[in-house]
Amino acid sequence: MTKSIEVRSITAAETLPLRMSVLRPNRPVEIARFPEDGFATTRHFGAFSGGNLLGIATLLRAALPEQPGELALQLRGMATAPEVRGKGFGRALLLACLAFARESDVPLLWCNARTSGVGFYRKLGFEIIGAEFQVPDVGPHFRMQVRPASQ
Ligand SMILES: CC(C)(COP(=O)(O)OP(=O)(O)OC[C@H]1O[C@@H](n2cnc3c(N)ncnc32)[C@H](O)[C@@H]1OP(=O)(O)O)[C@@H](O)C(=O)NCCC(=O)NCCS
């Protein structure tokens, strides 16, 4: 049975356990922190079920490098707990991010997607921009973008 999922704003500190365990395993906590975590324009979302935080996503104000003059949000720190993968937590988080971008009148949302996650982002309307590139210590990525107003 699909669990009921609640998405709401959380603090940067609340994102850290999942960021560390899923995205930066066996690395010091400093590696899991983003410089923009505390900025007023940054928003962190958590996906909960039964009171447990099972997915996270962070949106920060940053221009797409290929489109430097346009207001944009960068999606970072997207992760769901391994035990709930494929149950809609990631989708619920991305839908909240798209809704937030629309409410904020931000026309563009982008991310550096792990190549293994490209299919997930495609399902939510993202498209690839440019060639695959390597992120040191993490692996291959593609830049992806979506226009929230069209979703
Ligand atoms: C990528 C990730 C966030 C997806 O989260 P999730 O909770 O499993 O996603 P959902 O269950 O909401 O999946 C939504 C849809 O995407 C599909 N999907 C999920 N992960 C996918 C993947 N890696 N490749 C292709 N499709 C994928 C699901 O099958 C589902 O499709 P459906 O609507 O047809 O049923 C999660 O697997 C994760 O945290 N991975 C490790 C960290 C990571 O790679 N983060 C992204 C870094 S850029």
Burial class (CB in 10 A: 0-12, 13-18, 19+), 36: middle
Q: Which fold has domain 6-150?
A: Aminopeptidase (3.40.630)
Give the confidence band of 137 by pLDDT, cuts at 50, 70, 90. Answer: confident
Report the residue among 120, 121, 132 best suited for mutation to probe ligand 1: largest number of ligand atoms under 8 A from its CB.
Answer: 120
- CA torsion, ordered 111, 112, 118, 123, to nearest 10 deg: 0
Pocket of ligand 1, beta carbon within 6 A: 22-23, 78-80, 85-91, 113-114, 116-117, 119-120, 123
| Amino acid type, 144 | M
Looking at the CA of residue 114, tell me the nearest atom of ligand 1. 48
Average pLDDT over residues 50-68: 97
Kindly report the average pLDDT of the chain as a whole number.
96
Question: What φ, ψ does residue 91 adopt, rounded to 5°?
Answer: -60, -45
Find out whether 145 and 73 touch, Cβ atoms under 8 Å: no
Q: Where are the domains of the chain?
A: 6-150
Residue 2 has pLDDT above 60, yes or no: no
